[in-house]
């Protein structure tokens, strides 16, 4: 007569890339209630034994995990409602943790012009205590930066028809080599990128001078369900979210998609679930991740903003069953859309050499597939709420 013991759960048997067992960590996640944080919390709860101290002002996007925590997650995740600007509890939470992940930021391009002070304070001043507490208490830090720290490409300063514009060394962005090129001070759009670059330099300096164990993440347009907000539904009516949510809002309202300055800027997009895989590798492989800056993007998903609008219009028609508008897109100037002081980067293509070498990570999801997943979620989640909001607005006008 034989007895069999239950097989270990995937969380119990996790190993790092070098075959070593991964010990359960306590993670202080600042900004856990946002788009990236909500997906990372879900991943950690589903696939690991790590404990999360979820820090944010709002918990709407992780309410299903924390309010209250389901019985099987008891003791695994707790929500701590605090603003890192002025709360003495922050250092205590960082001390309790093995690792701090800082996701907190103002990262909406429309705010860079209209709220430059808030943008600089949020992305630099408010992040200072997090870096300080991690350094003073010998705690590891994964700091989220942005691909915007690269600014403009070298190629953008060449004539438009110059053959060197097509050479990768003039536009592919490398973590340890590419310069950070911003516009003039009067272009306040660069307030975000400049603040993010300065906090990166501080983190790097803490590592060099005081031994801080750090990893810096530069996301290249992570998109998927729960990204940003839909104005007037779960965000301010006058709010302007980032491009994917902006276009989703237009599609839900059957309005033409607004192409800023013709939609000529080129971008790459990566699926949030692919990107979260990369973050989990950073969490569980400190020996490979510490001291590195990682681009996390998908160079295969490169399109102009105009091409993105065309793809989204086609995909949404299939998802919703509604035919596209006769004129699905209109051109607007950046001054009309964002106000004075806006400027843009021409092209953002991440070099993937370092993350591939250190962590073996490559993105998987093609752009059309991630747009189908995201727009299906947007349609199911928001269509009826948008209808109600529009009818209320018309009734009161």
* Contact criterion met (CB below 8 Å) for 103 and 32: yes
**Burial class of residue 123 in the structure, from the number of CB atoms within 10 Å of its CB (0-12 exposed, 13-18 middle, 19+ buried):** buried
Count Cβ atoms below 10 Å from residue 147 Cβ, excluding itself. 22
Instruction: Return the structure tokens found at 395.
Output: 């009734």
How do 51-56 and 77-81 pair as beta strands?
Answer: parallel
65 contacts 46 by C-beta, under 8 angstroms: no
The answer to whether the beta carbons of residues 185 and 193 sit under 8 Å apart is no
Q: Tell me, yes or no, if 121 is annotated catalytic.
A: no
Sequence-separated (6 or more) residues with CB below 8 Å from residue 241: 108, 110, 227, 228, 229, 230, 231, 235, 249
Bin 34: left if φ > 0, else alpha if -120 < ψ < 50, else beta.
Answer: beta
DSSP label of 34: S
- DSSP reduced 3-state for 29: strand
Cβ contact 32:52 at 8 Å: yes
Q: Which of 192, 271, 316, 342 is catalytic?
A: 192
Dmax of the chain from CA atoms? 81
- Rg of the chain on CA atoms, in Å: 22
| Six token digits for residue 154 | 């070298």
- Please give the helix or strand (H or E) that residue 306 lies within, else none: helix 305-320
Q: End-to-end distance of the chain based on CA atoms, in angstroms?
A: 79
State the catalytic residues: 192
């Amino acid at each position: 007569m034989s007895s069999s013991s239950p097989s270990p759960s995937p969380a119990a048997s996790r190993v790092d890339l070098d075959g070593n067992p991964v010990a359960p960590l306590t993670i202080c996640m600042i900004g856990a209630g946002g788009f990236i944080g909500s997906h990372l919390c879900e991943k950690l709860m589903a696939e690991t034994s790590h404990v999360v101290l979820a820090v944010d002002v709002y918990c709407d996007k992780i309410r299903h995990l924390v309010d209250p925590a389901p019985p099987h997650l008891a003791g695994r995740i707790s929500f701590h409602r605090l603003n890192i600007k002025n709360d003495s509890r922050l250092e205590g939470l960082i001390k309790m943790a093995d690792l701090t992940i800082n996701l907190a930021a103002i990262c909406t391009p429309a705010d860079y012009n209209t709220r430059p002070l808030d943008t600089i304070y949020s992305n630099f001043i408010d992040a200072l205590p997090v870096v300080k507490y991690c350094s003073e208490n010998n705690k590891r830090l994964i700091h989220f930066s942005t691909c915007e720290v690269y600014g403009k490409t070298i190629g953008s300063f060449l004539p438009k028809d110059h053959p060197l514009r097509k050479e990768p060394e003039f536009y592919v962005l490398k973590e340890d080599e590419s310069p950070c090129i911003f516009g003039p001070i009067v272009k306040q759009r660069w307030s975000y990128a400049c603040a993010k670059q300065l906090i990166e330099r501080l983190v790097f300096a803490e590592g060099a001078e005081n031994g801080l164990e750090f990893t810096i993440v530069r996301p290249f347009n992570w998109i998927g369900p729960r990204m940003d907000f839909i104005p007037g539904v779960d965000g301010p009516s006058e709010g302007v979210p980032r491009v994917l949510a902006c276009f989703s809002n237009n599609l839900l309202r059957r309005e033409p998609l607004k192409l800023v300055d013709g939609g000529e800027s080129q971008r790459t997009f990566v699926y949030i679930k692919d990107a979260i895989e990369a973050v989990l590798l950073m969490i569980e492989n400190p020996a490979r991740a510490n001291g590195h800056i990682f681009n996390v993007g998908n160079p295969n998903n490169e399109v102009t903003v105009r091409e993105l609008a065309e793809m989204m219009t086609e995909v949404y028609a299939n998802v919703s069953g509604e035919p596209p508008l006769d004129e699905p897109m209109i051109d607007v100037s950046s001054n009309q859309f964002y106000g004075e002081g806006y400027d843009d980067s021409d092209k953002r293509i991440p070099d993937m050499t370092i993350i591939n070498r250190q962590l073996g990570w490559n993105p998987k999801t093609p752009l059309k597939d991630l747009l189908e997943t995201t727009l299906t979620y947007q349609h199911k989640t928001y269509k009826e709420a948008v209808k109600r909001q529009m009818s209320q607005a018309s009734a009161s006008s």
